[in-house]
Structure 1
Amino acid sequence: MPIEDVDRIAAETGFSGVVSIDRAGEVEFAKAYGLANRTYQVPNTLDTRFGIASGSKGFTALVVHSLIRDGVLKLSTTARSLLGDDLPLIADDVTVEHLLTHTSGIGDYLDEEGDLQSNDYLVGAVHELTTTEAFLPLLDGIPTKFKAGERFGYCNGGFVVLALLAERAGGAGYHELVRERVLRPAGMTRTDFLRADELPADAAVGYLDGMDRSNVFHLPVLATGDGGIHTTAADMSTFWRALFAGDIVTDVDEIVRARVDVPSESMRYALGFWRHETTDEVILIGGDAGVSFKSTHDRHTSTTRTVLSNTAPGAWPIARAIM
């Protein structure tokens, strides 16, 4: 689409963020809009790092796949075999594959099938959530919603459980597993887990919808398996190229193969990645208080389209237009 159309939509919606389109590593369009920090009037730039909420579920999935490659996990591994006595309401037949495809049926600490609003306070004592183990009290005591494998039911808690299983199988903390098994092999030098209460100068502050108030009390202070890493548009392009080059894991086709139809979203779901309803595009999406993100990759044309925003509604109008 013409650059003028992106500019027009950005102006009409007050877009704050970055838009990027590249083909085979050649940038066709890249532009930053709005402010990374409204208090100090710091503008967003192409190098600004944005939280991507559930966009990093794909990174969690790749950590799990790398552990499967190493022989310490299988898709058929049950969660119970590594949870022991923790989270007793998770059914004994729930497997890694169920968790990766959102078909586990386990109860969710952050249930998106409910009537959630982007500005709601949902998590509680967010300052305590600095490790995956710290999420156990949040995940505990939530009844099963349906039998494993019965249907698709988007589950944030399932990816926290995956992070916990990865830690226990991989012998390292989740954050280090992502760095060692995804970020470094991919060459993503501008992507990392940033504490919400001490963001560096190059990171965008997330703002609540219709307010100049930050999202610092709305999200875990440090992201874990269900999302929240910070990245740039350029690093997302680097990620997609590395993924399909086999630099992170080798069985990419199996990972991105659609496993479940999700008619309510007009998409399909693979193992940690969304798939377009009819085309071969692979998609990562994230949305939260002060965060919206979408990145798509067409492996046949090597085209990546990424929109990052530091507001909850910001990314969607432009994403719809360019994708």
Structure 2
Amino acid sequence: MDLQASVDEAASRTGFSGVVRVDRAGTTELATAYGLADRAHRIPHTLDTQLGIASGTKSLTALTVMALVERGALALGTTARSLLGDDLPLVADDVTVGHLLAHRSGIGDYLDEDAIDSITDYLMPVPVHRLATTEQYLSVLDGHDTVSRAGERFTYNNGGYVLLALLAERSTGTDFHRLVGELVCEPAGMGDSAFLRSDELPGHAAVGYLHRDGLRTNVLHLPVVGSGDGGLYSTAADLSAFWGSLFAGRIVSPDVVAEMVRPHSDWPEASERYGLGFHLHETSDAVWLEGADAGVSFVSLHQPSSSLTWTVLSNWSAGAWPITSLLRARLSN
């Protein structure tokens, strides 16, 4: 069975809803939209639908920070405390930008994934409408005890990436969402990528659903506007453009890219390694963005050695994983 037929069959069997795209050496080999972007109004997905990428946003946060490092506004050795002042007193004085990027800060996490029973639970500790700007996240980042010494070990940390967004804002005096747009999306040619409010989505954006069937959305489950750890909406075409621009040095320099996709930590629990904002394969040069939230599942992978890029975007909580597994099995070298 050829790849298109295999993806079609898996999409039909699993109720996949979203967009799948595969590119190799600049040629699009597969690009197909499935299911409904808005179930209540029976609006189908198209190849141009904007879908949430959840924690895939972290890679763009990391690139924003590294672009600021290149410009001298931050350094990997900049301490969080130097910009926090009296805010977040439980963040240790020696935690640096470099620690936060590598998930080696040791700070407590406002959204500890190891303690989550189900991704569709109501996880936000405050009403979601109170989380619309990065500064507003201070209320949920505060009060979490240090769990390890800075640099001691890798622990995936959502709050650390919101803190990076806050440091980016305070070092520049510019809104974080604007920084991502100017420093990453514009040079990458990602014209359809942005932080959208979940309670006023435009007509070309997909509504996120908790389950394969039904009309229950994720609007009460996620911050109304994401920040450094999630919340960007993007398209399959934009993500394809992202990888080409990243490795061509159009976002940050090739030397910085190499540092970001170099393994900084082993992550045996996930059978992978981690760089600075990027997931890395255990043995190959494959690098990817990944996100999972209530109403969102997403992977976009690039393998430089084979010039292969593939992206799976879905607007329900577990929708992307069967297609992701199929593409990993069919396309891995």
TM range (shorter): over 0.9
Q: Is the 8 A contact 1:79 1:95 kept in 2?
A: yes
Is 1:73 paired with 2:74?
yes
Alignment of 1:1-323 (within 5 A): 2-123=3-124, 124-210=126-212, 211-250=214-253, 251-323=256-328
User: What CA distance in whole angstroms lies between the structure 2 residues aligned with 1:57 and 1:115?
Assistant: 19
Alignment partner of 2:114: what SS? coil
1:247-288, Cα deviation, whole Å (9 max, x unpaired): 000021112111000000011000011111110011100000
Take 1:259 and 1:230, find their aligned partners in 2: how far apart are those partners? Answer: 28
Please report how far the alpha carbon of residue 119 of structure 1 lies from its aligned counterpart in structure 2 after TM superposition. 1.2
Cα RMSD of the aligned pairs, angstroms, is 0.9
Give the deviation of 1:72 after TM superposition.
Answer: 1.8
Task: Indicate if the aligned counterparts of 1:118 and 1:209 stay in contact, CA closer than 8 A.
Answer: no
Deviations along 1:129-178, whole A, 9 cap, x unmatched? 11000000101011111111111111000000000000011220100100
174-183 or 139-148: bigger deviation: 139-148
- Rounded to whole Å, the distance in 2 between the matches of 1:112 and 1:45 is 32
> Following TM superposition, by how much is the alpha carbon of 1:301 offset from its aligned partner in structure 2, in angstroms?
2.3
**Structure 1 CA distance for aligned equivalents of residues 200 and 3 of structure 2:** 38
What are structure 2's unaligned runs of at least 5 residues?
A: 329-333
Note the C-alpha offset of 1:2.
Answer: 2.2
- Which residue identity does 2:259 align to in structure 1? E
State the one-letter code of the partner of 1:94. Answer: V
Q: Percent identity?
A: 59
Letter matched to residue 269 of structure 2: S
Give the Cα separation in 2 of the matches to 1:11 and 1:171: 48
TM-score between the two structures when normalised by the length of structure 1: 0.98
Does the aligned pair in 2 maintain the 1:79–1:96 contact within 8 Å?
Answer: yes
Instruction: For structure 1, list consecutive stretches of 5 or more residues without a partner in the other structure.
Output: none
CA contact (8 A) 1:78 1:93 kept: yes
> Displacement, 1:24?
2.6
3-state SS of 2:159 partner: helix
2-side partners of 1:24 and 1:178: how far apart? 27
Q: Secondary structure at the match of 1:127?
A: helix
Given that 1:17 and 1:33 are in contact with CA atoms closer than 8 Å, whether structure 2 keeps it comes out as yes
Cα shift at 1:8 = 1.2
Asked if the contact 1:103/1:153 (under 8 Å) is kept, the reply is yes
Alpha-carbon distance between aligned partners in 1 of 2:259 and 2:163, rounded to the nearest angstrom: 22
Quick check: 1:25–1:237 contact (8 Å CA) kept in 2?
no
User: Following TM superposition, by how much is the alpha carbon of 1:115 offset from its aligned partner in structure 2, in angstroms?
Assistant: 3.0
**TM-superposed deviation, 1:116:** 3.0
Deviation at 1:223, TM superposition (A): 1.1
Q: What letter is aligned with 2:231?
A: G
